[in-house]
Amino acid sequence: MTTIADEVAKRRTFAIISHPDAGKTTITEKVLLFGRAIQQAGTVKGKKSGQHAKSDWMEMEKERGISITTSVMQFPYAEKLVNLLDTPGHEDFSEDTYRTLTAVDSCLMVIDSAKGVEDRTIKLMDVARMRETPIITFMNKLDRDIRDPIELMDEVENILKISCAPITWPIGMGKEFKGVYHLLRDEVITYQSGMGHTIQDSRIIKGLDNPELDGVLGEYAEELREQVELLAAAANPFDLEEFLAGQLTPVYFGTALGNFGVDHMLDGLVDWAPAPQPRDAGDVTVDATSKDLAGFVFKIQANMDPNHRDRVAFMRIVSGKYEKGMKMRHVRIGKDVRISDALTFLAGDRSAVEEAYPGDIIGLHNHGTIQIGDTFTQGQELKFSGIPNFAPELFRRIRLKDPLKTKQLQKGLMQLSEEGAVQVFRPMKNNDLIVGAVGMLQFDVVAQRLKTEYKVEAVYEPISVATARWVESDDERKLAAFRDKAYDNLALDGSDNLTYIAPTMVNLQMAQERHPDMTFRKTREH
Ligand code: GDP
């Protein structure tokens, strides 16, 4: 019989952080290809012709309904069970994207090697760093003309403040991309172009001094030897402890489109990334191997499809075991609920889960009683911490079409903010309602839900707000003085927390300088 400890040791739960277009979707596809194919080694790996393997894969995709648009994907790899949590990007970027990073044990950072470190990656790294999440790096698009690999690593170190330890090293680039040298395995793995849909039968050449190398790589062989010598002297060696502390990232090079290097990265992930980690719940820390079930909600997905009015709450299991039909305590409201229809998102359509373990994500149907940050247990009185609100970056004033519906609008906005769909701020100086989000789509979702669920038609107006900060101080007197002085810029958020609304970043900076006794926070815990 399998124990909870066995199941915990097997699991790796991670998310991808990247700037739009760096290749997250393509990598996800390839990762699933490896995940599925390894289970089905006979059907995909054995085929000699690439064409066959490709159609097998597409059949499998159809059969299993694997869709890379799903929110949570679970697949086996190298005797481990990997959970990949999707972090929505582009237009559907939202606070959920940030919060998803609070529910993983490690992250894969994907960088477009022609571009280097980009904005969104910097922001997401900031969030990953809040919990010192271990980061694995994949330098993508080696089949293109990329920037100098040393320069890329320098940029990661300087901008993201994390040391880089190359695990593989590229040989050539663009049309001349030959493959990589694996520093730890001391082997060259060659790249073939045009094999992006299959698992490549790469040629592996053992040993840097192997004369075979000169035959295969030509002039690149000598260059590689020189570079490796240089790396041995100048690059950081991989250090597991520093990696687990979030201070050092192993770096892989490859091309997701060409399906090359993704497996090297996955090998690193299953070998080094942590199994489901313990989690703080106030004064206690809950270990993944504790026998009683406990978990927290990090994301609530509203269905935009009017035929599916339900919302799904995503719960990360922290400890114990979920079994279909079990009773769970919804700690915040103090109620026991029987959960017989938790969802998994493995297949394109949702299917019911029989059992789930720490590191796994299950979906709970939510009819309005579940909020972001809620804890579910088997009766223990716990409240997990560390699921924050993030200072919004986009702001709108919200106005009613029908002024008589103010009450409904306020009620709707309060509930939607508790659920984490959007944030609401009420300035002290007037009766405006300001909504704040980190992604544009959040505004559309909220307008739509106000209309269907609360029967209010609201419109947005632009407002000149650059950012918001939650303000705190232990000194009541100073806080009162601050309230007077900064009155025009203060507001209360959806849970009545004091917030500073800054029209410009310069204004915020001045306020911080003027009021050194106040703490201005970018995040606030639920
Ligand atoms: P996402 O926005 O991060 O999900 O990026 P996508 O996976 O959608 O990739 C963005 C674009 O880059 C697409 O046109 C991909 O085909 C392309 N792309 C992704 N990986 C590679 C790669 O390794 N090499 C090349 N040349 N293009 C790639």
CATH number (domain holding residue 475): 3.30.70.3280
Ligand 1: nearest atom to the Cα of 29: 7
Q: Do residues 469 and 519 share a domain?
A: yes
Spatial distance between the Cα atoms of 288 and 9, rounded to a whole number of angstroms: 10
Structure-token pair, residue 272: 């080094």
Tokens of 367: 């009819």
Residues 43 and 103 in one domain: yes
User: pLDDT value at position 404?
Assistant: 87
Measured from the CA of 254, which atom of ligand 1 is nearest?
23
At 501, list the tokens.
Answer: 């609304």
Q: Pocket of ligand 1, candidates 142, 257, 260, 264: which has the most ligand atoms within 8 Å of its Cβ, to mutate?
A: 257
Whether residues 268 and 287 share a domain: the answer is no
Tell me which residue range forms the domain holding 167.
4-56+87-272
Query: Which residue type, as a one-letter code, is found at position 353?
Result: V
Tell whether ligand 1 has an atom less than 6 A from the beta carbon of residue 86. Answer: no
What's the rounded Cα separation, in Å, for the pair 508 and 512?
Answer: 6
Domain membership of residue 485 (yes or no) is yes
- Find the 92 Cα to ligand 1 centroid distance in Å: 18
- Return the CATH number at 366: 3.40.50.300
- Residue 37: what pLDDT? 54
CA of 24 to the centre of ligand 1 (A): 7
Question: Which of 272, 297, 313 corresponds to the end of one domain?
Answer: 272
- Are 395 and 416 in the same domain? yes
Closest C-alpha to ligand 1, atom 11: 21
Tell the residue nearest (CA) to atom 25 of ligand 1: 141
Q: How far is the CA of 257 from the centre of ligand 1 (A)?
A: 7
3-state secondary structure 16-72: EEECCCCCHHHHHHHHHHHHHHHHCHHHHCCCCCHHHHHHHHHHHHHHHCCCCCCCE
CA of 23 to the centre of ligand 1 (A): 4
Whether residue 68 is contained in a domain is answered as no
CA-nearest residue for atom 16, ligand 1, is: 257
Say what the ipTM of the complex is: 0.99
Atom number in ligand 1 closest to CA 144: 26
Domain shared by 369 and 403, yes or no:
no
Is 301 strand, coil or helix?
Answer: strand
Q: What distance in Å separates the CA atoms of residue 188 and residue 179, rounded to the nearest whole number?
A: 7
CA of 309 to the centre of ligand 1 (A): 33
Ligand 1: does its nearest atom lie under 6 Å from the Cβ of 187?
A: no
For residue 201, the SS3 value is: coil
**Cα diameter, the chain:** 83
Residues 113 and 210 in one domain: yes
Structure tokens at 385: 């911490």
C-beta atoms surrounding 483 within 10 Å: 13
Beta strands in 367-497 (DSSP E): 375-377, 388-390, 394-400, 423-427, 434-437, 458-462, 467-472, 490-493
Tell me if 67 is assigned to some domain: no
Model pLDDT, residue 354: 82
Q: Which two tokens stand for residue 8?
A: 């915990």
- Please choose, from the candidates 390, 435, 438, the residue with its C-alpha nearest in 3D space to the C-alpha of residue 89: 438
Task: Write down which residue in 227, 242, 272 finishes a domain.
Answer: 272
* Domain annotation covers residue 45: yes
The pLDDT value recorded for residue 310 is: 66
Question: Are both 460 and 418 inside the same structural domain?
Answer: yes
CA 409 to CA 411: how far, in whole Å? 5
297 close to 314: Cβ distance less than 8 angstroms: yes
Percent helix, strand, coil in the chain, to 5, is 35, 30, 35
Amino acid, res. 480: A
- State the Cα angle at 264 between 259 and 270, rounded to 5°: 120
Q: Do 186 and 286 share a domain, yes or no?
A: no
Q: Which of 272, 291, 309 is the last residue of a domain?
A: 272
- 174 Cα to the center of ligand 1, angstroms: 14
SS3 labels along 117-170? CCHHHHHHHHHHHCCCCCEEEEEECCCCCCCCHHHHHHHHHHHHCCEEEECEEE
d(CA 337, CA 321): 16
Q: How far is the CA of 25 from the centre of ligand 1 (A)?
A: 7
Report the separation in Å between the CA atom of 33 and the middle of ligand 1, taken as the mean of its atom positions: 16
String of DSSP letters for 465-504: --EEEEEE-S-HHHHHHHHHHTGGGEEEETT--EEEEESS
For atom 15 of ligand 1, which residue has the closest CA?
23
Best residue among 26, 141, 262 to mutate for probing ligand 1's pocket (most ligand atoms within 8 Å of CB) is 26
Which residue has a Cα nearest atom 24 of ligand 1?
141
Domain assignment present for 81? no
| pLDDT at residue 32, as a whole number | 86
- Read off the amino acid at residue 458: A
Residue 167 and residue 37 share a domain: yes
Q: Please tell me the total count of domains within the chain.
A: 3
Q: Is 23 in the pocket of ligand 1 (CB under 6 A)?
A: yes
Confirm or reject: Cβ of 139 under 6 Å from ligand 1: no
pLDDT in the model for residue 57: 39
Per-position pLDDT tens, the chain of length 526: 789 999 999 999 999 999 999 999 899 989 988 887 544 433 333 333 343 334 343 444 444 433 334 578 888 899 999 999 988 777 678 888 899 999 999 999 999 999 999 999 999 999 999 999 999 999 999 999 999 999 999 999 999 999 999 999 999 999 999 999 999 999 999 998 877 777 777 889 999 999 999 999 999 999 999 999 999 999 999 999 999 999 999 999 999 999 999 999 999 999 999 999 999 999 999 999 999 999 999 998 865 455 556 678 899 999 999 998 899 999 999 999 988 778 765 534 455 678 899 999 998 888 778 999 999 999 999 999 988 889 999 999 999 988 889 999 999 999 899 888 899 999 999 999 999 999 888 898 899 889 988 999 999 999 999 999 999 999 999 999 999 999 999 999 998 999 999 999 999 999 999 999 999 999 998 6
Do 350 and 321 have their domain in common?
A: yes
180 and 39 within one domain: yes
Residues 289 and 213 in one domain: no
